[in-house]
Each structure stands twice: as C-alpha cells, then as structure tokens.
Amino acid sequence: MSPQDHKGQTNPPEGENAPIRAGEQRLSSPVVRTGMFGSRTSGDTSGYGGLRVRGAPPMGTEPPYTDPDDPRTEGYDEIVTALRHGLGAEGAGFADAVERVVVDRGELTLHIRRDRLRDVARRLRDDPALRFELCLGVSGVHYPSDEGRELHAVYHFRSITHNREIRLEVTCPDADPRVPSIVDVYPTNDWHEREAWDFFGIVFEGHPALTRIQMPDDWEGHPQRKDYPLGGIPVEYRGAKIPPPDERRSYA
C-alpha cells in the first residue's frame, strides 16, 4: 500500500527527525542494490543490477482507527484510547512511548520507543480494557538502508478476553542493537528472543540466558541479516566436498 493511502501520524515528535505528516512525500536517499543476499559479484541474477531505488516514507494513520466498512478493525479505537489513558496515568504519556500508529490491511501496529517497550507490554497485559494475555513471540527484521533503525523487533499479541490482536514494532541501530527483554512480562518470549538474537544479533537486555538456540555456539555472525554473505562455507555431503555458492555459481 502506498504512503498516499495513509493520513499522517499520531503524536509526531517535533524537530528535524519528525516523522512524515499527511501529504508529505519525503523520500530517503537513493539506495544502490547490487544483488540479493549480500551478493557483490558479477554473477548477480536478482534483476537489481545497478538499480537505484528510494525508500518510501514511514506509514502512519490518523484516528479514527476503526473503519466501519472493515470488520477486521473493530475495537482499534478502544485499544489506542485505553493505552493512551493507561500510559498517561503512569506519568510518562502516550506520546513519549508511541512513535506512530499504523492501520494497514486491517491490522493495527504500534511503533514503540525501545526504552518504553516494557511499560507498554505490562499495560497491554494488565489493563482490564486491554487484557492481551498472550504474546506470540518476537521476530527480527533487518533493513540495512534504514539508517539508525536498521534492526526491527516485531511482537504479536493476542487478547483472549476481547478476541483481538495487535502488533508492536521496535527499532534499534546496528551500532547499538539493544532492546529490553520482556521475558519477565511474557515468559513465552524466552526462546523467541534467543532466536532473534541468534539470527539477527538483537541483544535483548535482561534476558535470563541469551544464547544461540539454533546455530552452533561458536558460529560467527547472524545469518538472517541481509548483509550476511550468501554461501562462503564449504559443505561436505556423503564424502563429496561441495564449494560454497559464491565460488561455484557463474553466469559468465
């Protein structure tokens, strides 16, 4: 969905880094894509070639968030209102915790400042008007061209009481890849945070045992990052040694 389909932002911060407002088309700097999966060789068959593209501005939605013509959005205004009142009662305020609200394809996403993630998670769990009893886990995403926000942690929550779902998204830079752990709030996140650390290198501060969960303990790097090289590791299969893909793929 294009940025024109959304109407600005909720509670935007002031200053140079203010998010996009309604009608603005402030695009990011050009990004030169030279190949998928970190490929930098002439054997690129991804179709990117030397294509120069521009990142779209971040999406945002203004209230009302409930669309009477879309039953999937039922209750979204109630969720945001309850969270706004709850965070305000704690003194810090909704605007200090929530960067923007996005309703897209019938789904509600709240973009949260990482230092307020635990406050928001506790409010989602404990507020009777919200009562999101279950966190389905956290997934990592890597956007190398999103300067200062390269790593994203995406959480999915479900309210069994109110039969609703919501998504939280938190970002952190490559230079400081730290996000607070919410394992003590939602214990089911234990292995999910370990997986996001294993594959993306997001450090969940406060996790009781943040170790690799699928890759070997001595593995170097985080293999689901987009800057992780494709191949480069020879594989031995039933006695036959197979060279890494970047050494055997040739389209010359």
* Rounded Cα–Cα distance for residues 146 and 26 (Å): 14
Cβ-in-10-Å burial (0-12, 13-18, 19+) of 91 comes to exposed
Does the structure show a pLDDT above 70 at 26?
Answer: no
Of 132 and 59, more confident? 132
State the pLDDT at residue 227: 85
Our measurement of the distance from residue 192's CA atom to the centroid of its chain's CA atoms, rounded to an integer in Å, reads 14
From 42-51, 77-86, 116-125, 193-202, the region with the lowest mean pLDDT: 42-51
Q: 11 falls in which pLDDT band (50, 70, 90)? A: very low
Cis-peptide, bond into residue 64, ω within 30° of zero = yes
Tell me the pLDDT tens digit for each residue of 67-94. 999 999 999 999 999 999 998 765 468 8
Residue 38 scores a pLDDT above 90: no
Burial of 186 (0-12, 13-18, 19+ CB in 10 A): buried
* Fold of the domain spanning 62-248: Beta Polymerase; domain 2 (3.30.460)
Determine the average pLDDT of the residues in 20-36.
48
pLDDT for position 221: 87
8 close to 216: Cβ distance less than 8 angstroms: no
Provide the residue ranges of all domains of the chain, joining segments of one domain with +.
Answer: 62-248
How confident is residue 199, by pLDDT bands cut at 50, 70 and 90? very high
pLDDT band at 12 (very low <50, low <70, confident <90, very high): very low
Share of the chain above pLDDT 70, in %: 67
The average confidence (pLDDT) of the chain is: 80
Neighbours of 41 (CB within 10 A): 13
pLDDT of the residue at 216: 84
Element (H, E) at 119: helix 117-126
| Dihedral, CA of residue 216, residue 219, residue 223 and residue 225, to nearest 10 | 130
Does position 20 have pLDDT exceeding 50, yes or no?
no
Query: Residue 105 has what pLDDT?
Result: 92
Residue 5 has pLDDT above 90, yes or no: no
Q: Look at 19-28, 78-87, 153-162 and tell me which has the smallest mean pLDDT.
A: 19-28
Give the CA dihedral 181, 184, 185, 187, nearest 10 degrees: 100
Q: What is the pLDDT of residue 157?
A: 97
